[in-house]
Amino acid sequence: METHILVTGAPGNVGTEVVHELQRIGVPFRVGVHNVKTASERLGNNLEITHFDFLKPETYSATFKGIERMFLVRPPALSNVQRDIAPAIEAAVKAGVKQIVFLSIQGVENNRVVPHYKIEQLLLGSGVNYTFLRASFFMQNLSTTHRNEIHDHDEIALPVSHARTSFIDARDIAAVAAWVLTEAGHTNQKYTLTGAEALDYDQVASKLSATLHRTIRYTHPSIITFIRRQLALGQKLSYTLIMTALYTITRFGNAKTVTQDVERLLGRPPIGFDQFAEDYRNSWQPDAALDIAPEMQPSLRRATSTLDK
């Protein structure tokens, strides 16, 4: 069978899971990766892997050759859409890609400053068939971005007060992505992907405590204290400011909307937070980091940069 599907964003959180889903379904696909050696180590060698770099136009032709549908992830480090993302989209469309499934964010339609808004506009203007997967906050932020605080200090410290978030498991986003890439009827659609409930961080801390059999505390520092703390932890100022902006939006109640799109598309309820905590429990266990199954923790080794939208 010929390969008509391209996956980007692997071996990242969602891209890795899309690879697993497509393998499970059994359709041929190509993975366009930033670093071939790392990707082969993490994803395995029995895949069609090609070097793809948004910033290197010389990688476009081999990446897009023969591709009709693609899963597009904006790497968190690339924020200048016109300079960093647009050339690859243009090349993909020119090469004959007919459908682009884009990992976007919940509420993007009301948030013109995020890169995802500009990417959606680019896709709408390009004439390509689009499928927007507007995802809420990943549960996996707790096993990547916030993992060290929980693992080392039994603490989640975020400036969101008691606001709720409709967390989604990255595996559900991937399952939807694989579905819309392989089934007809999803072109020019906008799906908002959330979990089945919205939790506040007191509930998250208490669920993690129950799973880990130790007390995880949720502290809610002021925004200024949060920024100072992130900088003291060595985070870059730009990254800290984006994270703060996202959590400020959450604090004002804008991350709590729950939709039925995952269940409607997959025919099953979204993965619940308790299941996520159980599946990823080794992320937060003392001295257990090296035991984590690679397929469960694609980006634990890069435990800092997941949350940036």
Q: Does 102 bind ligand NAP (CB under 6 A)?
A: no
* Choice from 135, 176, 227, 249 touching ligand NAP (CB under 6 A): 135
- Closest contact distance (angstroms) between CB of 276 and ligand NAP is 13
Give the Cα separation of 191 and 38 in Å (integer): 31
Q: State the alpha helices, DSSP H only, in the chain.
A: 13-25, 36-43, 60-64, 86-94, 115-126, 147-153, 170-182, 201-212, 223-232, 237-251, 261-266, 273-279
Q: Does the footprint of ligand NAP cover residue 107 (CB under 6 A)?
A: no
H or E segment to which residue 164 belongs: strand 164-165
Nearer to ligand NAP, 128 or 195 (CB): 195
Considering only 137, 201, 218, 247, the residue that binds ligand NAP (CB under 6 A) is 137
CB 102 within 8 A of CB 181: no
Between CA 285 and CA 262 the distance in angstroms is: 30
Measured CA to CA, the distance from residue 186 to residue 265 in angstroms comes to: 10
User: Binding of ligand NAP at residue 47 (CB under 6 A)?
Assistant: no
- Name the nearest CA neighbour of 47 among 61, 33, 34: 33
Look-up of token digits 């989209």: 89
3-state secondary structure of 196: coil
Cα–Cα distance, 131 to 102 (Å, whole number):
6
- How many residues in total does the chain contain? 309
If one asks whether residue 14 binds ligand NAP (CB under 6 A), the answer comes out as yes
Q: Identify the residue among 72, 75, 194, 283 touching ligand NAP (CB under 6 A).
A: 75
The one among 63, 99, 131, 141 contacting ligand NAP by CB under 6 A:
141
CB of 266 to ligand NAP, least distance (A): 18
Closer by beta carbon to ligand NAP, 52 or else 191: 52
Give yes or no for residue 122 binding ligand NAP (CB under 6 A): no
Which window, 69-77, 151-159, 250-258, 287-295, contacts ligand NAP (CB under 6 A)? Answer: 69-77
Q: Is 271 exposed, middle or buried (0-12, 13-18, 19+ CB in 10 A)?
A: buried
Closer to ligand NAP at the Cβ: 230 or 299? 299
Is residue 216 close enough to count as binding ligand NAP by CB under 6 A? Answer: no
**143-182 footprint of ligand NAP as x/- string (CB under 6 A):** ----------------------------------------
Binding site for ligand NAP (CB under 6 A): 9-15, 34-35, 38, 52-55, 73-77, 103, 105, 135, 137-138, 141, 299, 305-309
